[in-house]
């Protein structure tokens, strides 16, 4: 059997909007708080407090997929410098020039939204700002291709083209995914691919598109904490993600920040 692809009705798409707005508001607050001298555990605590106040449900705290060493136990991914995905918040104080990626997913009224953003705290390195910008440009390029009648390969190709034009290699082990009642579903959205190939995109398909790039490698390993994904050569990573819906017209970006 192939993957089960669920399409959402227009009414369900409307029901998914509050989760997207909430995720966007939390990431906006976290971006403001993330600064030199702030502990990663403080960021997780802020996200946790906002979840409680909203009456939302974390997608991370009990999350235990096959690749995770144990249930995640926190509500936010905080990936710093050579860490790029699934960063487990720990007792670390952000230092001047650190590149931090924040990835956050929750369920509101039974519907999930998932989004990620990257930031340099303090004095930035130009190449780090450029890397973050490339993930954002790639995300926008992928979203632009998320239209009814296109194929999944069009999204993947748009993302990969941004990376390759900048001289970056692309890891295909982790990418975007279907979103709905749970955080991770079919289809998989690779960060590189061939145009005109793969699943035909139809209205009602809801996916997370998430380019993540490393400065000088596409090779990764899992840290001793059993979760945090790091670059093999120690180079830094950046990550941008939005949850979107395909419609008869322009895609809806549920997690757009003001």
Domains defined for the chain, CATH in brackets: 10-253 (3.90.230.10)
Tell me which residues of the chain have a pLDDT lower than 70: 1-2
98 known member of a binding site: no
Annotated binding residue at 109? no
Per the annotation, does 164 bind a ligand?
no
Q: Name the nearest CA neighbour of 72 among 93, 96, 44.
A: 44
| 215 annotated as belonging to a binding site for a ligand | no
Q: Is 248 annotated as a binding residue?
A: no
Would you say 184 is a known binding-site residue? yes
Which CA distances in Å does 145 have to 82, 141, 173?
Answer: 30, 7, 21
114 labelled as ligand-binding?
yes
The closest alpha carbon to 80, from 247, 222, 229, belongs to: 229
| pLDDT for position 1 | 62
Q: Which residues of 77-103 are buried (b: 16+ CB within 10 A; e: fewer)?
A: bbbbbbbbbbbbbbeeebeeebbbbbb
Is residue 3 within 8 Å of residue 186, measured between CB atoms? yes
Confirm if 112 and 183 have CB atoms less than 8 A apart: yes
Phi, psi of 186, rounded to the nearest 5 degrees: -75, 150
Q: Is the pTM of this model over 0.85?
A: yes
The pLDDT, as a whole number, for residue 223 is 96
H or E segment to which residue 1 belongs: none
Name 49's Cβ contacts closer than 8 Å, sequence gap at least 6: none
């Amino acid at each position: 059997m192939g993957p089960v692809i669920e399409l959402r009705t227009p009414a369900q798409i409307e029901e998914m909007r509050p989760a997207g707005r909430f995720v966007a508001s939390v990431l906006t607050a976290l971006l403001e708080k993330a600064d030199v001298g702030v502990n990663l555990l403080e960021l997780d605590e802020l996200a946790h407090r906002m979840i409680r106040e909203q009456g939302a449900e974390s997608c991370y705290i009990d999350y235990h997929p096959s690749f995770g060493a144990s249930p995640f136990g926190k509500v936010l991914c905080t990936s710093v410098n050579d860490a790029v995905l699934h960063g487990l918040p720990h007792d670390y104080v952000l230092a001047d020039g650190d590149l931090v990626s924040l990835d956050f997913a929750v369920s509101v009224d039974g519907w999930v939204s998932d989004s990620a953003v990257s930031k340099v705290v303090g004095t930035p390195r130009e190449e780090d700002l450029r890397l973050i910008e490339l993930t954002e440009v790639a995300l926008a390029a992928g979203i632009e291709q998320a239209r009814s009648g296109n194929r999944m390969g069009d999204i993947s190709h748009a993302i990969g083209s941004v990376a390759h034009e900048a001289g970056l290699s692309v890891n295909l082990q982790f990418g975007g995914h279907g979103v709905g009642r749970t955080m991770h579903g079919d289809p998989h959205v690779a960060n590189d691919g061939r145009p005109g190939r793969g699943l035909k995109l139809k209205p009602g398909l809801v996916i997370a598109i998430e380019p993540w790039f490393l400065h000088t490698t596409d090779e990764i390993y899992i840290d001793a904490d059993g979760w945090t994904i790091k670059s093999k050569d120690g180079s830094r990573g950046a990550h941008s993600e939005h949850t979107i819906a395909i419609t008869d017209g322009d895609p809806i970006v549920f997690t757009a920040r003001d």
